[in-house]
């Protein structure tokens, strides 16, 4: 009987995250949960239970509600991975993605003008030039070409080094350390060590800009904020780390999966070859479809909140599944079909509310330009290995591919 009770309890709060069945679709259990109550109980790796929200409306409601906090040390905050505890243990290393307003908006607002859509557009010609250089080199070499190593990893890191005004030689260091920060395969100690090394590098960078500013983003923050005393060096270092980590692996993953769709979905390749103007729309749809922040976003309730038929109590944790919300048929009819003609702009891939992705315009320009470059240089691009052999990265917080071997 005990066993039966245990089974019942387990079924009532299944383990989260659930395994995928098809590598490009979210776990099917999420769709089943979405058909039920506004939130369901799930069990995390450490045995703790939290609420899981799987609908589009529910995710927007929670992310837009100030009664839910993004501060990791708040009571009940979901620890999605063993390394989530690190942030809690070292609050001084937290960046504004883990703060509530007014602290959050004080820091975020210092960056808004650098990440406007207009600013991202200014990056486009620069990107196009170096993409043409990279692709010319790739197509001149041997086939197959791995688009992850050759394209989707170096491009976002090159964009960040351009923004920060650091030399290209630092890219290997930045790429390797930020990859560790988002991979569940590393121990908390390894992650803490990578974070400290990255912070050491960024502290030196900030100090060099304090000594002699240039024209890059870090120098601008030193001149406009550090010198007048509105931002401390201790705050600027985690801010730089946030930009680096949030803007790097995510863009690599989303670009890799978008290119996988291009190489495997003839409808998408045809539509984009016929009409390049469709690219921005297709990129929104690819963001919806792949939803690379695969385990979703974590919050905790600071007050009792009624979410339709569920009461979330103060001190309880909530996980918002962006991938489930992005496959919600009430908002996106035939949600499991990738349709580049669909207006997918209401997707949740960049989150929602005060923390909605600051770098979304930049990310979209990068992905559009990577897809356009592959269409230009590798007409008829297709997988060079059977789909079943692809290395999907299940352990990384931004779902992606270890390699994408293609030919054309």
Q: Which residues bind ligand HEM (CB under 6 A)?
A: 70, 96-97, 108, 242-243, 246-247, 250-251, 254, 292-293, 297, 349-351, 355, 357-359, 362-363
**CB-closest chain residue to ligand HEM:** 359
Structure tokens at 14: 């299944």
Q: Closest approach of Cβ 274 to ligand HEM, in Å?
A: 25
For 276, list phi and psi in degrees, rounded to 5.
Answer: -65, -20
Task: Compute the least distance from the CB of residue 29 to ligand HEM, in Å.
Answer: 21
Q: Is the CB of 2 or the CB of 234 nearer to ligand HEM? A: 234
| Residue with smaller CB distance to ligand HEM, 46 or 101 | 101
Least gap, CB of 355 to ligand HEM (angstroms): 3
CB of 108 to ligand HEM, least distance (A): 4
Measured distance CA(103)–CA(98) in Å, rounded: 10
CA distances from residue 13 to 18, 58, 122, 137, 318 in whole angstroms, order as listed: 12, 19, 48, 51, 13
Please give the Cα distance from 390 to 400 (Å, whole number).
10
Give the nearer residue to ligand HEM in terms of CB position, either 10 or 173. Answer: 173
The distance of closest approach from Cβ of residue 297 to ligand HEM in the complex, given in angstroms and rounded to an integer, is 4
Q: Please, which residue, 70 or 222, has the CB nearer to ligand HEM?
A: 70
Q: Name which of 54 and 251 has its Cβ closer to ligand HEM.
A: 251
**Least distance to ligand HEM, CB of residue 117, Å:** 13
How many residues are listed for the chain in this entry? Answer: 408
Cβ proximity to ligand HEM, 70 vs 381, nearer residue: 70
Four-CA torsion 249, 250, 255, 256, nearest 10 degrees: 60
DSSP string, 326-378: TT-TTTSSSTTS--TTS--TT--TT--GGGS-TTHHHHHHHHHHHHHHHHHHS
Closer of 66 and 136 to ligand HEM (Cβ) = 66
Q: CB 31 → ligand HEM: shortest distance, Å?
A: 20
Q: Are 242 and 178 in contact (CB under 8 A)?
A: no
Rounded Cα distance, 246 and 18, in Å: 24
Nearest distance in Å: CB 28, ligand HEM: 22
Site of tokens 């709060």: 13
Q: Nearer to ligand HEM by C-beta: 41 or 119?
A: 119
Taking CA atoms, 31 is separated from 12, 25, 54, 330, in Å, by: 16, 11, 8, 12
């Amino acid at each position: 009987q005990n066993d039966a009770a245990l089974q019942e309890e387990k079924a009532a709060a299944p383990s989260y995250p659930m395994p995928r069945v098809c590598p490009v679709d979210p776990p099917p259990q999420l769709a089943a949960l979405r058909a039920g109550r506004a939130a369901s109980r799930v069990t995390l790796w450490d045995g703790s239970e939290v609420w899981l929200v799987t609908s589009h409306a529910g995710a927007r409601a929670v992310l837009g509600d100030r009664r839910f906090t993004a501060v990791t040390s708040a009571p009940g905050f979901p620890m999605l991975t063993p390394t989530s505890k690190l942030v809690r243990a070292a609050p001084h290393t937290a960046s504004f993605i883990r703060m509530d307003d007014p602290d959050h908006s004080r820091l975020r607002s210092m960056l808004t003008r650098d990440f406007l859509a207009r600013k991202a557009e200014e990056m486009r010609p620069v990107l196009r030039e170096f993409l043409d250089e990279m692709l010319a080199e790739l197509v001149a070499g041997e086939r197959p070409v791995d688009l992850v190593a050759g394209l989707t990893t170096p491009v976002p890191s090159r964009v960040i080094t351009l923004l920060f005004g650091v030399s290209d030689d630092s890219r290997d260091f930045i790429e390797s350390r930020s990859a560790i920060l988002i991979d569940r395969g590393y121990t908390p100690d390894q992650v803490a060590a990578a974070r400290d090394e990255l912070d050491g590098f960024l502290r030196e960078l900030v100090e060099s800009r304090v000594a002699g500013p240039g024209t890059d983003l870090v120098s601008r923050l030193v001149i406009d904020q550090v010198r007048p005393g509105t931002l401390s060096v201790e705050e600027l270092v985690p801010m730089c780390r946030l930009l680096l980590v949030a803007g790097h692996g995510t863009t690599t993953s989303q670009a890799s999966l978008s290119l996988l769709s291009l190489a495997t979905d003839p409808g998408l390749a045809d539509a984009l070859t016929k009409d390049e103007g469709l690219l921005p729309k297709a990129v929104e749809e690819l963001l919806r479809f792949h939803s690379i922040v695969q385990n979703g976003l974590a919050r905790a309730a600071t007050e009792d909140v009624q979410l339709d038929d569920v009461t979330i109590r103060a001190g309880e944790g909530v996980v918002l599944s962006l991938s489930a919300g992005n496959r919600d048929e009430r908002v996106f009819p035939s949600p499991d079909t990738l349709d580049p003609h669909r207006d997918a702009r209401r997707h949740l891939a960049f989150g929602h509310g005060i923390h909605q992705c600051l770098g979304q315009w930049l990310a979209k320009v990068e992905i559009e330009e990577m897809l356009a470059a592959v269409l230009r240089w590798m007409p008829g691009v297709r997988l060079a290995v059977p789909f079943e052999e692809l290395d999907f990265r299940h352990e990384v917080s931004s779902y992606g591919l270890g390699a994408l071997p293609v030919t054309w």
